[in-house]
C-alpha cells in the first residue's frame, strides 16, 4: 500500500515539478500509522529520492538550466531547508502535541493550495518578471526551502507558481528548477537531523518500499514531463491541488477532534 501511494504521488510530483511529498505527507497524516515527526522523515527521504532520480532523468533527456538562476536558488533552498527543520522542531517542542503540529501543517498547506490555485487561474493579470538577480533567486529559494522542509512535502505547488511569477518560466521549465530546490532543501534537512538527533528515534520500517516507489515514480514522471504538452501538465497540476486540499481539510478536522 505504501509503495503504491508513493509511486503514484512521485509520478505526479515529478511530472509537474511539485514533488510527491505534497501528496505523500497529507495521505500519511490521514492514515495515522506514524507520529508526525516520523511521517516528516519518511516523506523527506522519499521525496529526496524522487527528486534525485527525476533531476538526473531530466538532464539525461536534454533539460537545460541557467546556472545564474539555479545556483542561487540552490543556495537559498539549502538555507531554507535548515530554517524549516528548526521551525518544525521548535513548534513541536512548544506544543508538545503531534496532532497540533499536524493541524498547523495541514492548515498552512490548505492555505497555500488555495492561494496558488487562485494565482494560476488569474496569472495573466499579473506581470511576470524575468529576474536574473542573485539576491532575488536566493530569497526565492530560501522561502521555498523553508516551506518544503517545515511541511515535509518537498516543495509543492508553491515552487512552480513562484518560479513562474519571478522568472517567467512555463510550467515544464519551472518543474526542473522546482525539483532542484526540492532536492537540496530536503538534503539539508536530513543532514541536519542526522548530525543532531540521528534517525534512531524514528520508525522507518516502511522506508525501503517508499524509496523504491519514489525512484520509480521519479523516472516515470520525468519521462511524462518531456512527452506531455504544457496544457496537460498544467491541468494535472491543478487537479492535484484539488485532491491535496480535500485531504488537508480532512486532516485539520481529524487533528482538532483528537485534541478536543
The predicted structure's pLDDT at residue 260: 66
Q: What is the mean pLDDT of residues 14-29?
A: 78
pLDDT at 64 over 60: yes
Give tens-digit pLDDT for 215-260: 888 888 878 877 888 788 878 877 888 888 888 888 888 888 877 6
Closest CA to 164 of 233, 84, 245: 233
Mean pLDDT, to the nearest integer, of 8-26? 79
On the 0-12 / 13-18 / 19+ scale of CB atoms within 10 A, 173 is buried
Average pLDDT, rounded, for the chain: 81
Distance of CA 7 to the CA centre of its chain: 15
Q: What percentage of the chain exceeds 90 in pLDDT?
A: 2
| Of 159, 207, 198, 215, the residue nearest 182 (C-alpha) | 159
Say yes or no to pLDDT of 210 above 80.
yes
User: Which sign, positive or negative, has the C-alpha torsion 114, 117, 122, 127?
Assistant: positive
Do the Cβ atoms of 130 and 163 come closer than 8 Å? Answer: no
**If pLDDT is split at 50, 70 and 90, which confidence band does 188 have?**
confident
If pLDDT is split at 50, 70 and 90, which confidence band does 3 have?
very high
CA dihedral 93, 97, 102, 103 (to 10 degrees): -110
Q: What is the grid cell recorded at 109?
A: 498547506
Measured CA to CA, the distance from residue 234 to residue 121 in angstroms comes to 11
Cell of 68: 545564474
pLDDT interval class at 155 (50, 70, 90):
low
List own/partner pairs for 205-211 with CB under 8 A and 24 or more apart. Answer: 206/2, 206/42, 207/42, 207/45, 207/46, 209/2, 209/3, 209/6, 210/2, 210/3, 210/6, 210/24, 210/42, 210/45, 210/46, 211/45, 211/46, 211/49
User: Cα–chain-centroid distance for residue 117?
Assistant: 16
Tell me what the mean pLDDT of segment 145-150 comes to. 80
- Name the residue with higher pLDDT: 127 or 86: 86
Amino acid at each position: 500500500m505504501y509503495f503504491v501511494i508513493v509511486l503514484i504521488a512521485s509520478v505526479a510530483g515529478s511530472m509537474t515539478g511539485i514533488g510527491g511529498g505534497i501528496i505523500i505527507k497529507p495521505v500519511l497524516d490521514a492514515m495515522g500509522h506514524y507520529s508526525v515527526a516520523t511521517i516528516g522523515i519518511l516523506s523527506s527521504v522519499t521525496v529526496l529520492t524522487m527528486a534525485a532520480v527525476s533531476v538526473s532523468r531530466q538532464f539525461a533527456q536534454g533539460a537545460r538550466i541557467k546556472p545564474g538562476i539555479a545556483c542561487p536558488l540552490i543556495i537559498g533552498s539549502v538555507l531554507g531547508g535548515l530554517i524549516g527543520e528548526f521551525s518544525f522542531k521548535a513548534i513541536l517542542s512548544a506544543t508538545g502535541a503531534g496532532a497540533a503540529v499536524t493541524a498547523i501543517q495541514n492548515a498552512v498547506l490548505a492555505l497555500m493550495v488555495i492561494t496558488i490555485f487562485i494565482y494560476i487561474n488569474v496569472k495573466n493579470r499579473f506581470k511576470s518578471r524575468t529576474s536574473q538577480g542573485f539576491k532575488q533567486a536566493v530569497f526565492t529559494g530560501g522561502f521555498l526551502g523553508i516551506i518544503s522542509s517545515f511541511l515535509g512535502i518537498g516543495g509543492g505547488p508553491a515552487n512552480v507558481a513562484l518560479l513562474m511569477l519571478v522568472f517567467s518560466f512555463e510550467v515544464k521549465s519551472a518543474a526542473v528548477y522546482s525539483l532542484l530546490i526540492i532536492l537540496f532543501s530536503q538534503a539539508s534537512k536530513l543532514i541536519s537531523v542526522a548530525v543532531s538527533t540521528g534517525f534512531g528515534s524514528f520508525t522507518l520500517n516502511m522506508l525501503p518500499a517508499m524509496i523504491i516507489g519514489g525512484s520509480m515514480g521519479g523516472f516515470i514522471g520525468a519521462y511524462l514531463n518531456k512527452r506531455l504538452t504544457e496544457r496537460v501538465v498544467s491541468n494535472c497540476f491543478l487537479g492535484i491541488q484539488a485532491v491535496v486540499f480535500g485531504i488537508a481539510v480532512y486532516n485539520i478536522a481529524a487533528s482538532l477532534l483528537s485534541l478536543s
